[in-house]
Amino acid sequence: MRQVMNNKLFTKPTGFGQITDGTVARCPEREAIVYKDWRITYGEMGTLINQTAHYLRSLGLTKGSRLSVISRNCPECLLIEIAALKLGIIPVRINWRLSPEEMEYIIDLNDVNMVFYRPENPEWGKALSEHYSDASHAGKIFVNLNDTDKKSVLYDLVTDFPDDSIEIELSPDDEAVRMHTSGTTGRPKCVVYTHGGMLGEIESVKDIYEYTDGQRYQFIAQLFHTACIGAYLSLCTGGTLVLMDRFDPATYMQSLISEHITAISVVPTVLKWILDEADKHGYDLSELRVVRYSTCPIPPVTLHRAMEKLHCNFYQSYGMTEMGSIVTALVSEDHFTDNGAHLDSVGRPIPGAQMMIADENDNECPTGVVGEILVKGPGKMKCYLGQPELTENVFRGGWYHTHDMGFIDEYGYLHISGRSDDMIISGGENIHPAEITNVIMAMPGVKEAAVYGLPDDTWGEKVKASVVLYPDVSITSEQIRAFCKQKIAGFKVPKEVEVLSELPKTPSGKVIIRELKERSMKK
């Protein structure tokens, strides 16, 4: 465990909603959020948060009510969430990439009372609003974030409300935010965070991950992810959050220069694109001081290239949704000590976290021996919503069982060896093969299907499906992909589909995924 100075930022008994109170008071004239041509100072941010809280309260939302913002990155995602948290309202984060049917499942699972949404296209906006238009859903409130000619619909909704702060006393154990992660049956599991856990995670990470006062931080990760912690770390330490809603290499690079960006957090794919663009166009990245990377394995060639090209402090993190994001960190000095011996690790535990490698009986493994990675940490979830037996199982013995395999070396650094389940991580998104298999198997003419991940230079891993058809059925790979696109989010759709006469199986009939992967990688 790391021992660092930990000067507590959050001392009020008002929960995670206090996250920006200190910086709003300390630097009201400083830019807090930059989004396209919308520049919000800390003072204005505080005003909008307070007015939004009064607006939500006027609608009858109170402690324990549920609220969602379904949108690409935008300031409203943060402003509305913080306002809700001040009232003890529970934000339910929903991936805007999901299909309307998938969104409806999560809205209904959580019995969400109010939804702010920005449709990616008219079709899904219409489908979502029509689904909840009948009398049985009369109590739900839907607000289209596009219904304004101003910078934000908030200026239409909240301007006439008071801007005095609402402070409600909340217990550290009170429910704060709900996230969703892939489930083994294909349906997402709902992860419940507490106010104390979320604040504890921020307190633990801020001292070791170089979020500093005045830092200009370009943020491209999606705010419905646990990566949202980066946005909150910036805002609670007095940084300027330059928020981007999508990744376009040219726009991203121009913003790095024009906004004088000093820190970024990226998946390895984006880091590679940044290096490519800098080489191609000669961008001056000398103002960049901090590079944080995470979410999926980084190719060693990309990391070494970045360290040679960018004269920055590098940080890597390892974590998972159930632990409130970060559990271990490979901090800047770790990248350069011992002749780079630690570069193939994911670092050591953050303050307050612990890790252990266990065998199949949950006994601790010796140093250097591969086993399942078990972790404890300040940001751990309270539970899976409505699944007490599953919650108890994953926290057996007080440790969260990650299903990741790895070992701890003699210096105390964690090395990831793989996953004990079949989870695919593509471009930072967690994808469970069972969900895609279920969709393909629902297509008429499909007899069998197996879905798995393959290494990919761009996305870390890509989704591939091997499919067997019934006799006399003719279906192309593109038709299978098109069918999937109608049912699931685009990032889950297999990038490659092959039609086979049969799938390799064990004597008991279980599909041998390893053999399919090996065949594919030989092609």
Domain boundaries, the chain: 424-522
> Can you give the pLDDT at residue 181?
85
Continuous segment of H or E residues that includes residue 203: helix 195-206
What pLDDT does 428 receive? 82
DSSP E strands: which ranges in 287-411? 290-293, 313-320, 325-330, 348-349, 354-358, 371-376, 383-384, 400-408
Which of 113-117, 181-185, 464-468, 510-514 has the least mean pLDDT?
181-185
User: What is the pLDDT at residue 273?
Assistant: 85
Residues 6+ apart with CB under 8 A from 91: 66, 67, 68, 69, 80, 81, 84, 85, 176, 177, 178
Confidence check: pLDDT of 424 > 50: yes
Residue 6 has what DSSP assignment? Answer: -
Percentage of the chain lying above the pLDDT 70 cut: 95
98 half-sphere exposure, CB direction, 13 A CA radius = 25
Using CB atoms within 10 A of its CB, is residue 295 exposed (0-12), middle (13-18) or buried (19+)?
buried
The C-alpha atoms of residue 235 and residue 41 are separated, in whole angstroms, by 11
For residue 284, pLDDT beyond 50: yes
Q: Is 440's pLDDT higher than 60?
A: yes
Q: What is the mean pLDDT of the segment spanning 464-484?
A: 94
Is 335 in contact with 413 (CB distance < 8 Å)?
no
Across the beta sheet with 141-144, the strand order is 90-91, 66-70, 114-117, 141-144
How far apart CA 10 and CA 176 sit, in angstroms, is 15
What is the pLDDT at residue 4?
47
pLDDT number for residue 267: 82
Reply yes or no on whether the pLDDT at 56 is more than 50.
yes
Taking alpha carbons only, the member of 126, 279, 292, 285 closest to residue 220 is: 292
Local confidence band at 136 (pLDDT 50, 70, 90 cut-offs) = confident
With a cut of 70, say whether residue 294 has pLDDT above it.
yes
**Residue 5: pLDDT band by 50, 70, 90 thresholds?**
very low
Strand pairing class (429-431; 424-426): antiparallel
184, pLDDT greater than 50: no
Does the pLDDT of residue 368 top 80, yes or no?
yes
pLDDT one-digit tens code per residue, 76-126: 999 999 999 999 999 999 999 888 998 999 999 999 999 999 998 888 888
Average pLDDT over residues 357-385: 96
Rounded (to 5) percent helix, strand, coil in the chain = 35, 25, 40
Of 100-114, 373-387, 506-520, the least confident: 506-520
Question: CB count, 10 Å around CB of 151?
Answer: 14
The CATH fold assigned to 424-522 is: GMP Synthetase; Chain A, domain 3 (3.30.300)
Report the C-alpha gap between 267 and 297 in whole angstroms: 9
Q: What does the alpha-carbon distance between residue 246 and residue 74 come to, in Å, rounded to a whole number? A: 10
Task: Provide CB contacts within 8 A for 248, sequence distance 6+.
Answer: none
Mean pLDDT, to the nearest integer, of 475-480? 96
SS3 of 257-276: the string is HHCCCCEEEECHHHHHHHHH
Q: What pLDDT score was predicted for residue 295?
A: 66
| DSSP-assigned letters across all residues of 468-484 | EEPTT----HHHHHHHH
Given a cut of 90, whether residue 421 has pLDDT beyond it is no
Stretch (H or E) spanning 80: helix 75-86
Give how far Cα 71 sits from Cα of 146, 228, 251, Å.
Answer: 10, 14, 20
